[in-house]
Structure 1
Amino acid sequence: MSNIVVTKSSPLLVGPSEPGTPTGSTRLSWFDELSGSSPVSLLLVFDKPIANPAETIRRALSRALVHYYPISGRLAAGSADGDEVVTYTGEGQGVLFVGASASCAVDDEAMSAAPLLSDLYAHYPDELCPSHTDPLLLMQVTEFSCGGFAVGVTWNHIFADGTGIGQLLQAIGELARGMPLPSVAPVRWDESVMTARPRVLTLADVEFLTDEDDMVFLDLTIPPSLIGRVKAEAGSDSERCTVFEAVVAVLWQCRARAVSVPEGHAATSLMFGSNVRGLVSAAEGYYGNCYISESVQATSAHVANSDTKDVVKLIKATKQKLRGAMTKNNDDDGVNSVQQQRLSAYNTLGVSSWRNIGLDAADFGGGRPSRVVLYAMQDIVPFFVLCPPCKGKDGVNVLSRMLKKEHVDRFLHELEALTSTERV
């Protein structure tokens, strides 16, 4: 893969296509502020060609920004209370857009090559913390030698979560296919979201990974047979086990078995985000941040030695606390801190789900993506992401950087043992 060349055009700023698009400032919510100013990147890979993909998508993006015009703006200081806002003036602003071509075809090997993946995105100058002068969204469209193409998206998390970006990408796709308007009217200001007060998961007591803690990239598919067995074992007539709970329980347990811990009572923590649009009655089409982070804590020995169904119960019990984690009281200070006990970085595992949030529904004219790929700019803690299945494959695609090299073989052995046995 070392001979692959990605040729990029000069970046340009894309703004709304129609004159008279509204300008002004958009206040950020508590959810936005708690997400922080950090970059997130994803890649949509398409194996079916469309005519002039970069130009087609650039024009559709410009049309979409008429409706999603705040995304063209920049972060700015708000009123005297110090709150941040997003301000769109229409002058010298917009989404940064890059067209590119790659001297290879779309295939699994190419999509697993880290150097190539890095070239399929536009990057912030400071990849760890976008500045107030940086665009909120960067987009690169790369055409491959086979005619397929990839859409790399990097955005500042302070302005939107994965669900919001999925909605935007669907809108761009609809306009690229000739629809006059997006099918979902976007909403960026919603009083229900603005008055909600999420609970804070404090990470001050979690050690972060260092440059020496190199995590191995794994591209896995969890088969439907294993998912089905865990769901059947852990579910009941009154409460079903979800795909998320089944897959996360399996991976957390296999990892705990693979990573030898000197003391069986050592703490391990699983952190995941949950979409709470329904809990706060967010308007349809709201595309800002609207999620909270949850943490499941247990001993490594408990996770490793329990039945998988009991690990599911740990995850389910934490998810059921979500309703109590929110308050509508405007007099509340908005912060109900949840402290974690001191944890090493390697005993802390992050998980995110990109299933069912619309990323795989984007269609720019040649059909839905053949796969959705995570690109990690920085490893803060070991993590894995649940992605929609790759085209032609069943089950759940999992992309991870959660294991050091010395633990990979044992982890894969444990996963294979769970997959092949009738006992879960």
Structure 2
Amino acid sequence: MLALAAQRTHTMTGAAVAKSWPVVVVPTESGQTTTPPAGHTVALSSFDLCMLPFPMKLVLAFDRPVHEPVETIKRALSRALDHYQPVAGRLDGEGGIACTGEGVAFVAASASCALEEAMATLQQMDLTVRLPGVFCLDADPLLLVQVTVFSCGGFVVGVTWNHLLADGTGIGQFLGAVGELARGVSPPSVAPVRHWDDALRALPPTSVAAQRSTFDNNGPRYLVRHDVAVPLSLVSRIKGESGCTAFEAVAAVIWRCRTRAVASPDDSPAPLCFPCNVRALVGAGAGYYGNCVVGQVVPATSGAVASSSVADLALLIRRAKENVPDLLSGSGSDGEAAPPDDGGAQSGAQEAPLQWYDGIGVISWVNLGFDAADFGGGGAARVMWHEDRTLLPGCMVCPPCRGDAFNVSSLCVKPEHADAFLRELDLLGIQY
């Protein structure tokens, strides 16, 4: 495992990043452990099993220096593993996580420039630990962390995790605990919960199969990366017209721009898929950090999406959210909820089998606590999805942090559709 990355220097966009050899961070064995203890096995839930072992990558940029950020975060990470024993474990190959205490991978790195100089090009910099394969293996660490210190004292925390371990809410909670421990708060304010019995309500088997099939498409494709900024003023206007949430407004904007750019025939399917946190619906205890989301689909045709107002599309997304409880009961014939009634605008949207490029997935990282993670100098100045490949065309809606726009990390169009996508963004006053 320690051969994950040799010591090396990458020069990207004029900035050099020197990386140390990876080391393993293990629990401190302080005795301040929470359940399940070391040596136990946590069974993956039906929500975990909806996911593929795909590595998710998160970058948190901090422009306010802290004392010795590498050592501070490394020590706090070790202490956090006392409370989150499964994070330091390994997949057992039989549908569970063995709490082996083998630890997580940790890389210290340094950048040759100031963080402010690199803020616009962080996506092109080597700020996360990359696994050698497309998917995580059972023997791989479930979590990999890189701390890169910039010449100004600012730093970036890059987090890679196996999606079978946790969803975004779970990782946000874990990073919050690392931050508290780095600041001297012990134990963490949120007691972690990981059910290793049948306490969590299970998804119907038909729903598990339907959810997993959304992603099981023979691996990721490489699409054009765009980092766009959807102005808060635009989001507020859409919210005022439709009564929607900020996420629904941003998702509707990207959905329409992308659909118009691809310009498929009017009767072609152009669905939107988005995950919903269902902890409150399935009996997950406070502090539960495993996967607990289901993916909802808004079926629609290309013509209907392209010709609709953004506000109307936001309402479609809202109505689909209201149907999420049906996914948990398996009330649909294939485990999917019935599409919302839109007066026939989506007629024919699912008559043909969906191909991987037909639709788009939009995920929100806005309310997961990523921007609130604080290792001693305050919250993050920037939150980013640090990826160059994806299982299906999609984008990540990231919190505004200290800006006046929602940052959207997008991998949703092929090169031949990139210019048209940017033109559609321009028409709405969206920067990229």
TM-score computed with the length of structure 1 as normaliser: 0.87
Instruction: From 176, 180, 187, give the equivalent of 1:174.
Output: 180
* Structure 2 equivalent of residue 39 of structure 1: 55
Alignment of 1:231 with 2:239, yes or no, is yes
* Structure 2 equivalent of residue 398 of structure 1: 408
* Structure 2 equivalent of residue 250 of structure 1: 253
Preserved CA contact (<8 Å) 1:159 1:288: yes
Distance 1:62 1:205, change over 3 A: closer
Residues 118-155 of structure 1: per-residue CA shift (max 9 Å, x gap): x21112222x2111111111011110111100101001
Alignment of 1:74 with 2:90, yes or no, is yes
Instruction: From 100, 103, 120, give the equivalent of 2:112.
Output: 103
Instruction: From 154, 158, 165, give the equivalent of 2:164.
Output: 158
Preserved CA contact (<8 Å) 2:50 2:211: no
Q: Look up the equivalent residue of 2:157 and give its one-letter code.
A: V
Q: Tell me the CA shift for residue 27 of structure 1.
A: 1.3
Q: Tell me the CA shift for residue 283 of structure 1.
A: 0.9
Alignment of 1:415 with 2:421, yes or no, is no
Distance 1:29 1:71, change over 3 A: same
Count, aligned residues: 397
Q: Tell me the CA shift for residue 250 of structure 1.
A: 1.4
Residues 2-41 of structure 1: per-residue CA shift (max 9 Å, x gap): 4422222221111111245531111111011111212111
Identity %: 47
Distance 1:204 1:287, change over 3 A: closer
Alignment of 1:281 with 2:291, yes or no, is no
Alignment of 1:264 with 2:263, yes or no, is no
Q: Tell me the CA shift for residue 72 of structure 1.
A: 0.6
Distance 1:42 1:265, change over 3 A: same
Alignment of 1:215 with 2:223, yes or no, is yes
Preserved CA contact (<8 Å) 1:207 1:345: no
Q: Tell me the CA shift for residue 214 of structure 1.
A: 4.8
Q: Look up the equivalent residue of 2:296 and give its one-letter code.
A: E
Alignment of 1:132 with 2:133, yes or no, is no
* Structure 2 equivalent of residue 81 of structure 1: none
Q: Look up the equivalent residue of 2:263 and give its one-letter code.
A: S
Alignment of 1:120 with 2:140, yes or no, is no
Q: Give, in whole Å, the separation in 2 of the partners of 1:175 and 1:48.
A: 18
> For 1:271, what is the secondary structure of its paired residue?
strand
Structure 1: unaligned runs, 5 residues or longer: 79-83, 236-240
Q: Give, in whole Å, the separation in 1 of the partners of 2:51 and 2:59.
A: 21
Highest RCO, 1 vs 2 (Cα 8 Å, sep ≥ 6): 1
Alignment of 1:336 with 2:339, yes or no, is no
Q: Give, in whole Å, the separation in 1 of the partners of 2:300 and 2:17.
A: 45
* Structure 2 equivalent of residue 238 of structure 1: none
The more displaced of 14-23 and 172-181 is 14-23
Q: Give, in whole Å, the separation in 2 of the partners of 1:180 and 1:96.
A: 23
Q: Tell me the CA shift for residue 387 of structure 1.
A: 0.1
Q: Look up the equivalent residue of 1:223 and give its one-letter code.
A: P
Preserved CA contact (<8 Å) 1:42 1:153: yes
* Structure 1 equivalent of residue 343 of structure 2: none
Q: Look up the equivalent residue of 1:124 and give its one-letter code.
A: L
Q: Look up the equivalent residue of 1:258 and give its one-letter code.
A: A
Q: Tell me the CA shift for residue 270 of structure 1.
A: 1.0
Preserved CA contact (<8 Å) 2:87 2:143: yes
Residues 236-293 of structure 1: per-residue CA shift (max 9 Å, x gap): xxxxx111111111111122222222x2111111111111011113111000000001
* Structure 2 equivalent of residue 320 of structure 1: 322
* Structure 2 equivalent of residue 351 of structure 1: 362
> For 1:226, what is the secondary structure of its paired residue?
helix
The more displaced of 10-19 and 54-63 is 10-19
Q: Give, in whole Å, the separation in 2 of the partners of 1:33 and 1:160.
A: 11
> For 1:58, what is the secondary structure of its paired residue?
helix
> For 2:319, what is the secondary structure of its paired residue?
helix
Residues 188-213 of structure 1: per-residue CA shift (max 9 Å, x gap): 117676332162435758895998x7
Q: Tell me the CA shift for residue 377 of structure 1.
A: 4.5
Alignment of 1:388 with 2:399, yes or no, is yes
Q: Give, in whole Å, the separation in 2 of the partners of 1:53 and 1:242.
A: 36
Residues 312-367 of structure 1: per-residue CA shift (max 9 Å, x gap): 22212211111121139xxx9xx836896422333221111100011111000011
Q: Give, in whole Å, the separation in 2 of the partners of 1:243 and 1:155.
A: 27
TM-score computed with the length of structure 2 as normaliser: 0.85
Preserved CA contact (<8 Å) 1:170 1:361: yes
Distance 1:47 1:352, change over 3 A: same
Q: Give, in whole Å, the separation in 1 of the partners of 2:66 and 2:277.
A: 33
The more displaced of 288-297 and 411-420 is 411-420
Preserved CA contact (<8 Å) 1:190 1:286: no
Distance 1:253 1:374, change over 3 A: same
Q: Tell me the CA shift for residue 419 of structure 1.
A: 4.2
Instruction: From 3, 19, 27, give the equivalent of 1:16.
Output: 27
